[in-house]
Amino acid sequence: MATAALTRKKRAWTDKELEALPKDGYKYELLDGELIMSPTHARHGEVSMRIGGLLLHFADRNELGKVYDSSTGFRLAPALLLSPDVSFVSKARLKKILVAPDKFLLGAPDLAIEVLSPSDRLKQVHRKLDRYFDHGVRLVWWVDWTKEQLHIYTPDSVSALTRPTDILSGGDVLPGFKCRLSRIL
């Protein structure tokens, strides 16, 4: 993740200011008042779409909630607007955080998925993970496609899938969801 050079750090950004940022191919997020932008490579996009497609099919078929792509902003606090690469919001949570379809969601997703890019700084990624859990995310999948690994974070545990035959489960967040790691990577 690169820090945007066009702006300075400030504690509060309005939705209007964020929406007015240039449409230059970067995904902009707000992490503790710092504007960050993340360009992504082809493999990153491919992995995001694979996992997003699997989740979308499962969530729609089972009427569990909505799946969002990386362009969807979750306003967690005045100085915190994050856009996971893929996210899932249950029907129950959606009723609480969807203010209007043309606004940022006002709260956290149930599941946030981050697909690492070569430019990501681990310290910043861990800060994002902490903020997700601070604001109610129940599950985070952190995909490291360069190492062909998927790390599973809950508020109380961390585990990893490292073999193509390992099975990813949706746990309590997406009951019944299962797929082999090889379908994602």
Q: Fold for domain 42-183? A: tt1808, chain A (3.90.1570)
The pLDDT, as a whole number, for residue 37 is: 72
Specify the pairing of strand 167-169 against strand 178-180: antiparallel
What average pLDDT does the chain have? Answer: 88
State residue 8's pLDDT score.
46
The tokens for 50 are 């694979």
Provide the pLDDT for residue 25.
61
- Give the pLDDT confidence of 70-105 residue by residue, as tens digits: 989 999 998 899 999 999 999 999 999 999 988 999
Pairing type for strands 65-69 and 74-77 reads unpaired
Of the two residues 34 and 157, the one the predictor is more confident about is 157
CA 144: distance to chain centroid? 14
- Read off the pLDDT of residues 53-70 as tens digits, 9 standing for 90 and up: 999 999 999 999 999 999
Full DSSP string of 20-53: TS--SSPEEEEETTEEEEE---HHHHHHHHHHHH
Nearest one of 90, 92, 89, 70 to 81, comparing CA atoms: 70
Calculate the dihedral angle through the C-alpha atoms of 47, 99, 134, 2, rounding to the nearest 10 degrees: 50
**Coil, strand or helix: which one is 129?**
helix
Q: Which residues contact 94 (CB under 8 A, 6 or more apart)?
A: 65, 66
The residues, any chain, with a CB within 8 Å of residue 16's CB and separated by 6 or more, are: none
pLDDT digits 0-9 by tens, 133-159:
999 999 999 999 999 999 999 999 999
- Identify the H or E element spanning 92: helix 91-97
Surface-to-core class of residue 7, CB atoms within 10 Å of its CB (0-12 exposed, 13-18 middle, 19+ buried): middle
